[in-house]
């Protein structure tokens, strides 16, 4: 699963929601963090009711802080293999591909390494989450490297503005097998976790970040609770 979105849209926290669900089912998970200190990530996750430290202490979650300047792509692959083969991880997170890219000499090398790594994880029956931070915040956003074709599922996160407030939208733009919901919905991140709102049927142009309103503005998530 590939999660795309500008900085601050909640990619890491959304992924942690899936990690917490996997651990709750009794599975083990591994999290490779490039862009953020583990302590800070744990503090932010605690605000969602997700206790990373407790999962680590219980042996259900392995978290590795990765410095792209000190670790080669081959060494990262070896660590991932160890988590899967020796520790039994069935959910693997790479957060983010932007940090992974810093260890690569070029885009072609990044795609080849990701293709090899994802094929391996797929053969092992692991669920893999990869995040990518897009350049830009609102309006035109660009992805530093296109690996969407490698993913079975692609989730797109976006900012949009209405009623003088900056809000977030979520949509599934690709699912390789089977049908998927094609609506674009508002979502929020708070103390009770990630909440998904109603479909934004009054807006158009949301996916490309240039929205226009052709009906009444939708009700805010906060207005319904």
Q: Could you tell me if 152 and 172 are in contact, meaning their C-beta atoms sit under 8 angstroms apart?
A: no
Q: At 225, is the pLDDT very low, low, confident or very high (cuts 50, 70, 90)? A: very low
pLDDT of residue 208: 58
pLDDT of residue 14: 95
pLDDT of residue 220: 60
pLDDT of residue 142: 74
Q: Is the pLDDT of residue 180 over 80?
A: yes
Gap between the Cα atoms of 207 and 20, Å rounded: 28
Report the percent of the chain where pLDDT is more than 70. 86
pLDDT of residue 107: 61
Q: Is the pLDDT of residue 214 over 70?
A: no
* Sequence-separated (6 or more) residues with CB below 8 Å from residue 18: 1, 91, 127, 129
Lowest mean pLDDT among 124-128, 175-179, 188-192, 201-205: 201-205
Gap between the Cα atoms of 196 and 211, Å rounded: 19
The listed CATH number (3.20.20.140, 3.40.50.620, 3.40.50.300, 3.30.300.10) that belongs to domain 2-224: 3.40.50.300
Residue with tokens 């999290």: 31
Task: Describe the crossing of helices 11-24 and 38-46 by its angle, rounded to 10 degrees.
Answer: 70
pLDDT of residue 163: 76
pLDDT of residue 211: 54
DSSP conformational letter for 46? H
Residue closest to 126 by CA, chosen among 83, 180, 173: 83
pLDDT of residue 184: 92
Q: Is the pLDDT of residue 66 over 70?
A: yes
pLDDT of residue 171: 94
pLDDT tens figures, 104-132: 666 678 888 889 999 999 999 999 999 99
Q: Is the pLDDT of residue 205 over 90?
A: no
pLDDT of residue 207: 63
Q: Is the pLDDT of residue 139 over 80?
A: no
pLDDT, mean of residues 167-180: 90
Residue 20: cis peptide before it, omega within 30 degrees of 0: no
pLDDT, mean of residues 40-62: 95
pLDDT, mean of residues 25-50: 93
Q: Could you tell me if 15 and 129 are in contact, meaning their C-beta atoms sit under 8 angstroms apart?
A: yes
pLDDT of residue 108: 72
Q: Is the pLDDT of residue 209 over 60?
A: no
């Amino acid at each position: 699963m590939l999660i795309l979105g500008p900085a601050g849209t909640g990619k890491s926290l959304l992924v942690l929601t899936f990690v917490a669900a996997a651990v709750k089912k009794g599975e083990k998970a591994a999290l490779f963090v490039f862009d953020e200190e583990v302590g800070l990530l744990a503090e932010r996750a605690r605000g969602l009711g997700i206790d990373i430290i407790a999962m680590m202490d219980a042996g259900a979650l392995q978290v590795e802080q990765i410095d792209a300047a000190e670790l080669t792509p081959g060494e990262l692959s070896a660590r991932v293999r160890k988590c899967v083969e020796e520790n039994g991880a069935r959910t693997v997170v790479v957060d983010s591909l932007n940090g992974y890219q810093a260890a690569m000499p070029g885009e072609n090398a990044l795609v080849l390494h990701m293709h090899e790594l994802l094929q391996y994880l797929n053969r092992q029956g692991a669920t893999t989450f990869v995040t990518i931070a897009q350049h830009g915040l609102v309006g035109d956003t660009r992805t530093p490297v296109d690996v969407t074709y490698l993913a079975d599922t692609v989730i797109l996160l976006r900012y949009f503005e209405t009623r003088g407030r900056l809000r977030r939208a979520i949509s599934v733009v690709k699912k390789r097998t089977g049908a998927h919901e094609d609506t674009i919905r508002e979502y929020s991140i708070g103390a009770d976790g990630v909440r998904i709102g109603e479909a934004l049927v009054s807006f158009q142009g949301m996916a490309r970040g240039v929205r226009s309103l052709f009906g009444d503005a939708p009700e805010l998530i906060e207005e319904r609770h």
